[in-house]
Structure 1
Amino acid sequence: MESSIGQTIKRLQRALQRRGVSREDSEDLIQEAYQRLEIYRRDKPVDHAEGFLVRTAINLSIDAVRKRRRANHADEPIESHIIVDESPLPDEVYASRRRLDRLNEGFAALDPITRQMIRAQRMEGLSVAAIAAQHRLSMSAVEKRLAKGILFLVNWMEGW
C-alpha cells in the first residue's frame, strides 16, 4: 500500500507539472487533494481514489491560477490606472471657436484677391511664384498683398 501511495503521488506530480505547476506547488495541491478525498469519503464511497485525486488536484491548480490572476488585479490601487483625457476643456473649446469666428470675420473683411492669395498660400500650399502666375501679377506684388493681408489679420486678432 505504501508503494501504491508513492506511485500515485508521483503520477499526480507529473500530471500537475505537465500543466506548468511547480514541484513545490504540486506537493501542496496533492496534500489538499488528499484532504478533500478523506473528507469526501466520510459521507460517500469513492470507487476510484486515484481518479478523484487527479481531478481534484487539477481543479485546485486551475483555481490557484485564477486566484493569482484576481489577486494581481486586486492588489493594484485604482490610482495606478490613470486615464488621461487629452481633449480640451469645454471653456477652451468655446474660446477656440470664438477665436476662429473672429478670424473668419477678419478673413471676410479682406479684399477678395488678397483673401484668395492667402488661402492659396496657407491652405493649398502654393508658392508665391505659382500665385503670381495664377493672378498674372509680379511676385513682388503678390508678396506685398500677402504681407499686408497677414498684417491685417494679425492686428485683427490682437487681444483674442
Structure 2
Amino acid sequence: MSAIAIHHDQIAELFREHKESIVNFLLQKVKCPDTAQDLSQETYLRLLRKDDLAHTDNLSGYLFRTAERLSIDFIRQHQRTAAKSQMLDDELLCPRIQPEDFAILSQQCERLLHAIAGLPSQCRHILLLRKIDELSYTEIAGQLGISEKTVQRQLVKAMLHCHQMLIDPQS
C-alpha cells in the first residue's frame, strides 16, 4: 500500500466537517470541555504535520483514531501526574511532632502531673495502680485492703480532678 500526499485544504475541510463530533467524542473520553477542544486542535495539527497518509480512503476514521490516541495519552499523563502529586503530598508530611504541637503536649503533661501531685495520697495511689500498673479494681482493692467500691469512687474522683485541671488549670 503506497502513501499518498494529502493537501492541507483537504485536511482543513475534513476538520471543519468533523470538528463538533471530534470534540464530543473527546469530551466523552476526557470529561473536560477545554481539554477536549485542545485535543481536537492537536488532532488537526497532527494531520497537518503528516506529509503523506497511507489510508486516504478513510480520512475520517484516521482523524477519530488520532483523537482517540491523543485522549489515551492525555489520560495516562494525567494519571501519572496525579500519582506523582499524591506521592509528593504524602512525602511532605513530617513524621516528627511539630514544635507547636510539642509545646501544647508538654503543657498538657505538666498540667496532668501537677493535677496528679495535687490528689490526696490514697486517690493518687489508686490512679497510678490502675493507669500505670494496669491493675484491676479487685487487685487494687486487695493490695490496699479496701473495697472495690472505694477503688471505683477514688478512681472517678481522681480522673475528674485531672480532667478539670486539664481544662482549667486555675481551679
TM-score, normalised to structure 1's length?
A: 0.48
Higher relative contact order (CA 8 A, sep 6+): 2
The structure whose Rg is larger is 1
TM-score, normalised to structure 2's length?
A: 0.45
